Structure 1
Amino acid sequence: MRQSFLSSRSLRFMLIAVLSAGFIVFVGLGLESKMASSDPATQVVQPPQPQFSVPPQRQSPPIAVTLPREKSVPSVPTVPPPPAIILSQPNPAPVTVKTAYGHLPYAENDAIRLEVVGQYVRDGYARDERLDIEAAQAFRQMAKAAKASGVLLMPLSGFREVSVQAELFARQIERKGSKEEAAKWSAPPGHSEHHTGYAIDIADQQSPESDLKISFEATRAYQWLAANAVQYGFELSFPPNNWQGVSYEPWHWRYVRSTRALQVFAAAKRPQ
């Protein structure tokens, strides 16, 4: 028993000795490590990092540019506008057109606008007469209304070419002796209302002796026209003492109801 006690005691001494030795070794190592870290000879020195310097960029010297000097413009003083003047507008002045012995110039109508309005018939002779489509329609309506009243209106002369008018005017010169006298009874070429297709010479079918004569004003046809023609857009072109100085022609009428016809005869209106 004594022997086992001694063995147990010996083991404790050995264990204490081992622990003491381990502690001494641990402390020694710690001191050595501390001393090594404080010794400059044992420290690891990092080599210095190379530093690169970038040379500064050279700047180009500024280029001197000589600009042209601006011309000095004198200031313009601002002038206020004059006050507005409101005037009463008079009636428009009549269109000034050069006439030929009192006759106004007229252009030929387009042939495509012309249509037969009726026939002039005397002693076995018959001739188709044409008017502008607007005037032709109005004339047919007017002749129909007159017939209902027992009056027979007959177209004597409608549209007329400039070449035909030239022949007629030349004959009048032979009869009257001069252009001035001829123009009182017939228009010079290019100056006849018949060129327009809106003018027509009308005859009384029942009074052949009055064709193209002043005596036409005594016929029933003229009396009916004087009272009713305006309702169908027709007016007498050359009444007595007309401003153009053309001889009185009771048989010569023109259509003025449409916008186109009014434009054609705008210059024929009596100046105010």
Structure 2
Amino acid sequence: MDFQNSSYIIMGGTSGMGLAAAVALQNQGAKVLVVGRDDESFGEAKRKLGASALALGGDATHPETIDQAIQMAHQEFGTITGLFHVAGGSGRKYGDGPLHELTLDGWNKTFEINLTAMMLSNRAMVNYFLEHKQPGMILNMGSVLGFSPSPKYFVTHAYAAAKSAVVGFSKSIASYYASHSICVNVIAPSLFETPMARRAMENEQIQHFLKSKQPLDGGRPGRSEDILNAVLMFLAPDSNFITGQVLAIDGGWSISEGQYQ
């Protein structure tokens, strides 16, 4: 995979899986601009990426954030090869949960942070590629919960619906823009060591459940580095014959029954 003379925007790229992807792309020779909402994560991002990377603070649910990111990246790098949209999160604190307890605010906010934000970044990048008459790579972050639910420990129905919609949205735009050589794909992780997963990571019963639910490599939570080979494959400029695909990076989650104590 050749990343020389390539550049990428990573929405949600100042921490966790997004930051790991930014480092991996940079190590391959790509230029990166990372966008994050949490000011506390910027110090670590700048330390790991160095002065050659760009960092922008902003909320992915606001259209001006991706517009500013594109303007900055194009001005600094000359062109933009692709987008990795990682930004999203749990809506549990807003009222997401099982349907009989799900609030309208929880539903709307969960869709806003996981689907509307993605639509905004994807729309802006597609417009950029069309305007400049160039091919492009878009990779969206889904979740295994969008197609492989877990009814006891991971009951957030709005989140599952939003991540399922990520798949439908990505496949639909992949189909429409294929003739423009714009590739759109999805990775769908299971339970990973992220800030969003802190509740699960601190729960002894869930950790026991993981031993049989995602049994690869000893039955552990995923780590950011577990997604990197897939991210590099989907974002590489020479992966221009792959589009509309969904890859689960789940330690076996979607093919395992999972045992309760």
TM class by shorter-chain length?
under 0.3
Determine which structure has greater relative contact order: mean sequence separation of CA pairs < 8 Å that are 6+ residues apart, divided by chain length. Answer: 2
Greater share of helix = 2
Give the structure-2-normalised TM-score: 0.23
Give the structure-1-normalised TM-score: 0.23
Structure number with bigger Rg: 1
